[in-house]
Chain A
């Protein structure tokens, strides 16, 4: 879906295929004033657009359109890209890569043609590689190409942490950075409640020696997607809500800090041109600042290992 407004600054674009990501955005009905859906499957697209339009009475988005033709996406402020094949049961994210790169080679130039000033928000998996691909194909400056990254992983982590401590997730603070996937990095030193560092209370936290087995919480985050896919076939609501959260920070110029995928070459010992998630400040010009986390040596090592793996895949791609 994506919004097109010649008159206002509020627009959101989501390219939609086999993904109910857009519906998560309906939880924030005041976000954009025009929404547009784009897809290659025309019937499905038309059905979804009509269904959303029938809900107009209950929404604050006055215009919802959908088309195969990218000219309807003109003048978008934000373009959310969810296109691509989705993970099959048991399939790792890296396996999807070349399939999705070919799709992006069709999509991205068209988006750029009609919305040269947009902010690209890439959701399709493997998100870190595809954000790199979108960056290369679009020619946009790096602050306008963002990957949804570990915003969802951190959301899952804070939810599980909340369950463990009987608190609301918004009172539990924990950050997962790095690759959105199997090798994401939980920054245990930053995990805190009301400013009280949990690692300060339990120095074994995150290690195998930990009696409370917090490491298992991270494992559940990593396996979370696979588990849901096994049960219902795909994940949609949580990723939709996390994307809406990011879009809100961008459109409302909030300067909130989110863990999203950005170019990390030169940071934390990463030498390659790769995109990984680190805490970033989002506003209406895009990704305006990066927060420097003080990481342990083993955490930095994990990041640079991810970077190497990602680069290993990226350099084989034909762009």
Chain B
């Protein structure tokens, strides 16, 4: 594929480039515009037939351009500093993309997928909203070169479990997909931080870490960030307060065996377990344990009702992205490499409270867990390792 720089020096194309720049007003928009034209044509030589057309247009438009705008700076445009890539434009991927756009986190957004029409349609739909956004460049391609120099890459690609399919089989199918995706991401953005969202997230974060060769602090799984958000919302509803005023953490595996840390639940520093020592146990008269059960079931419930979940996960990923891009040192429960903690000897990824900043996972908070909670986490680790050890080519 011919790069944009080469095109601008081509005699016939040069005119067309000027025309397009004055139309858009910015050098980089011009490059992009031409890229797309070539991409849809798919054959570099095709632009030869545009030469007379572009010349004709350029010669006629040049006078309006020259009257209207005087370019002052025509050097290489500055590269994007906060580029975010989203791999996979399904419901979850698009929810992540939109949440990131609305939070004004990125100065460039790249989308990648294998389904070309869907990809182009989604990209155009977002671009058409440009008037209302602060992200000036939205690109998309099947080709990973469009993701070059990203700071954050959100991976939502993968297949869903078929009926009756074993988890191991699902994982192996997704491993094969990741074997194609991850090396391409790293090739074009060697300094990025990867956020893995695809399920089963803990196993796939491990897979991503292995395939990418990145240091462990730059591979993060969205983990129980969403479970904790659901927990805080449900608990806060019961107490009549806002979710942000309820503090509670769910750790461990993102899924059926997540661990609610009842000892840490508090409102305004008032520890709930101190008010009700039975909280979270079967003996609890108020049955607070049910709230955690609701969290575990909530994904299935939403899927049953609307077919998939996307908004909450999209918003939670944007929240993580914000801490990373804005270097905030905020704490989130995300999936990280936990070997060596809580007596875990295997290389598994589980969710613990992590401090996130521009470098990735800066540190992990040592939670004071009960023996029972530690036992549950260790059990999750064992289950995950059981699956991971049988994966091939990782």
User: Taking the complex as formed, is B171 at the interface, i.e. its CB lies under 8 A from any CB of chain A?
Assistant: no
Set of chain A residues within 8 Å of B275, measured between Cβ atoms: 294
Set of chain B residues within 8 Å of A168, measured between Cβ atoms: 323, 328-330
B320 CB to nearest A CB, Å: 13
CB contact list, A179-194 vs B, under 8 A: 187, 189-194
Interface string of A235-267 (1 = CB under 8 A from B): 000000000000001000011110100000000
Q: Are A195 and B265 in contact (CB under 8 A)?
A: yes
Stretch in A102-110, A138-146, A169-177 touching the partner: A169-177
Q: Are B241 and A195 in contact (CB under 8 A)?
A: no
User: Taking the complex as formed, is A40 at the interface, i.e. its CB lies under 8 A from any CB of chain B?
Assistant: no
CA distance A30 to B247 in the complex (A): 27
User: Taking the complex as formed, is B353 at the interface, i.e. its CB lies under 8 A from any CB of chain A?
Assistant: yes
Q: Which residues of A contact B (CB under 8 A)?
A: 162, 166-168, 170-171, 173-175, 187, 189-197, 200-201, 249, 254-257, 259, 279, 281, 288-289, 291-294
Q: Are A171 and B331 in contact (CB under 8 A)?
A: yes
B353 — nearest CB in chain A belongs to which residue? A194
A170 CB to nearest B CB, Å: 6
* A195 contact from B245, B264, B274, Cβ within 8 A: B264
- The 3 A-B pairs at the shortest CB distance, nearest first, are namely A190-B269, A195-B264, A279-B268
CB contact list, B305-338 vs A, under 8 A: 323, 328-331
Set of chain A residues within 8 Å of B268, measured between Cβ atoms: 175, 190, 257, 259, 279, 291, 293
User: Taking the complex as formed, is B271 at the interface, i.e. its CB lies under 8 A from any CB of chain A?
Assistant: yes
User: Taking the complex as formed, is B233 at the interface, i.e. its CB lies under 8 A from any CB of chain A?
Assistant: no
* A189 contact from B264, B269, B323, Cβ within 8 A: B269
* A171 contact from B261, B330, B368, Cβ within 8 A: B330
A164 CB to nearest B CB, Å: 12
CA distance A174 to B266 in the complex (A): 11
User: Taking the complex as formed, is B388 at the interface, i.e. its CB lies under 8 A from any CB of chain A?
Assistant: no
Set of chain A residues within 8 Å of B270, measured between Cβ atoms: 190, 279, 291-294
CA distance A197 to B269 in the complex (A): 9
Set of chain B residues within 8 Å of A289, measured between Cβ atoms: 240-241
Q: Are A166 and B367 in contact (CB under 8 A)?
A: no
A36 CB to nearest B CB, Å: 28
B135 CB to nearest A CB, Å: 19
A266 CB to nearest B CB, Å: 18
Q: Are B245 and A192 in contact (CB under 8 A)?
A: no
CA distance A168 to B362 in the complex (A): 13
Q: Are A173 and B247 in contact (CB under 8 A)?
A: yes
A38 CB to nearest B CB, Å: 31
Set of chain B residues within 8 Å of A190, measured between Cβ atoms: 266, 268-271
Additional pairs, 7, CB under 8 Å, beyond known A194-B365, A195-B261: A167-B331, A168-B328, A190-B271, A191-B269, A256-B244, A279-B270, A294-B270
User: Taking the complex as formed, is B12 at the interface, i.e. its CB lies under 8 A from any CB of chain A?
Assistant: no
Q: Are B330 and A170 in contact (CB under 8 A)?
A: yes
User: Taking the complex as formed, is B366 at the interface, i.e. its CB lies under 8 A from any CB of chain A?
Assistant: yes
A288 CB to nearest B CB, Å: 8
CA distance A167 to B328 in the complex (A): 8
A162 — nearest CB in chain B belongs to which residue? B329
Of A168, A187, A192, A279, most buried by chain B (CB within 10 Å of CB) is A168
B189 CB to nearest A CB, Å: 26
User: Taking the complex as formed, is B248 at the interface, i.e. its CB lies under 8 A from any CB of chain A?
Assistant: yes
Q: Are B241 and A196 in contact (CB under 8 A)?
A: no
CA distance A275 to B287 in the complex (A): 36
A187 — nearest CB in chain B belongs to which residue? B269
User: Taking the complex as formed, is B199 at the interface, i.e. its CB lies under 8 A from any CB of chain A?
Assistant: no
Set of chain A residues within 8 Å of B271, measured between Cβ atoms: 190, 197, 294
CA distance A167 to B357 in the complex (A): 10
Interface string of B262-287 (1 = CB under 8 A from A): 01111111110011000000000000
A200 — nearest CB in chain B belongs to which residue? B368
A273 CB to nearest B CB, Å: 24
User: Taking the complex as formed, is B355 at the interface, i.e. its CB lies under 8 A from any CB of chain A?
Assistant: yes
Q: Are B240 and A255 in contact (CB under 8 A)?
A: yes
User: Taking the complex as formed, is B144 at the interface, i.e. its CB lies under 8 A from any CB of chain A?
Assistant: no
Q: Are A192 and B367 in contact (CB under 8 A)?
A: no
Q: Are B329 and A195 in contact (CB under 8 A)?
A: no
Q: Are A256 and B269 in contact (CB under 8 A)?
A: no
CA distance A254 to B274 in the complex (A): 26
Please judge, given known A-B contacts A170-B330, A187-B269, whether A254 and B242 are in contact too, CB under 8 Å: yes
Set of chain B residues within 8 Å of A293, measured between Cβ atoms: 268-270
* B263 contact from A175, A195, A255, Cβ within 8 A: A195
A-B residue pairs in contact (CB < 8 Å), sample of 5 = A193-B365, A194-B264, A200-B368, A256-B245, A279-B267
A291 CB to nearest B CB, Å: 5
User: Taking the complex as formed, is B19 at the interface, i.e. its CB lies under 8 A from any CB of chain A?
Assistant: no
Q: Are B330 and A167 in contact (CB under 8 A)?
A: yes
Please judge, given known A-B contacts A167-B355, A255-B240, A256-B244, whether A194 and B269 are in contact too, CB under 8 Å: no
User: Taking the complex as formed, is B178 at the interface, i.e. its CB lies under 8 A from any CB of chain A?
Assistant: no
Interface string of B122-149 (1 = CB under 8 A from A): 0000000000000000000000000000
Set of chain A residues within 8 Å of B261, measured between Cβ atoms: 195
Set of chain B residues within 8 Å of A193, measured between Cβ atoms: 331, 365
* B367 contact from A170, A196, A249, Cβ within 8 A: A196
Q: Are A257 and B245 in contact (CB under 8 A)?
A: yes
CA distance A153 to B167 in the complex (A): 51
* A196 contact from B264, B330, B355, Cβ within 8 A: B264
User: Taking the complex as formed, is B206 at the interface, i.e. its CB lies under 8 A from any CB of chain A?
Assistant: no
CA distance A189 to B269 in the complex (A): 7
